[in-house]
Amino acid sequence: MEIILHPKYLFALNKIKEFPFNRDKKEVVIKILMKGMVKDGVMRAPVVVKTKIITGKYEYYFVDGQHLSEAAKRLNITHLECFLFESESTSEIVNKMASLNNIGKKWTLFEYVNAFCGTGDENYFKLKNHAIVNGFSIAVSATILSGSAISGQGCNKIKYGNFVANAVNSDIITQNLLDISALVNTNSAKFHKAFLLFFKSIGNKYNHKK
């Protein structure tokens, strides 16, 4: 098996930007990294991508290592060697970011949605808003807005930037589900999914009033 060895280059840390969909930095992580650097020096390298997907011109962004970079800056380290790759694929960048950050805690579907919202994708804005406003899970809202069940391989559509909100009856189904949830006094994702499966199974025979 051939392994890609990405090159490393020396970067001025103030020249590398953060994507709008980067996870928020945590102070406790920064302080732990600072202590480690003081004791052992810098033992790892950030991952940087060269891309123009955000502004239309080539710039450098952290894919992994924003905590490390912040810790270094606070210790007056101005330059670090960073792994570098180039990409114009939003999906590739988001999934590399998710993969590299999965060591501590895997990305949720909501974090994938946030990431693609950060690129300006209107389908993901609509998905995020629908879930928040109605109190649905991302998978439930995605099922309603796309017209197909989102689970298993369906979740990969969200993760790889292929989600499209194009169901023609999404407003009706949303209201029906809100009505039923209020009637039985539950807002669980399990109930929501069960209703959507039931709705799909009987198709045009569904009678909401009944």
In 3D space, the residue among 178, 116, 161, 148 whose CA is nearest the CA of residue 139 turns out to be 148
- Give per-residue pLDDT as tens, 177-210: 999 899 889 888 889 988 888 888 887 787 888 7
Residue 140 has pLDDT above 70, yes or no: yes
Which of these ranges, 52-56, 60-64, 154-158, 194-198, has the smallest mean pLDDT?
154-158
pLDDT of amino acid 152: 53
Most confidently modeled of 20-24, 76-80, 117-121, 146-150?
A: 76-80
- Angle at the Cα of 79 from the Cα atoms of 76 and 80, rounded to 5 degrees: 115
Query: What average pLDDT does this structure show over 119-138?
Result: 92
Exposed/middle/buried for 97, CB within 10 Å: 0-12, 13-18, 19+?
Answer: buried
Residue 103 scores a pLDDT above 60: no
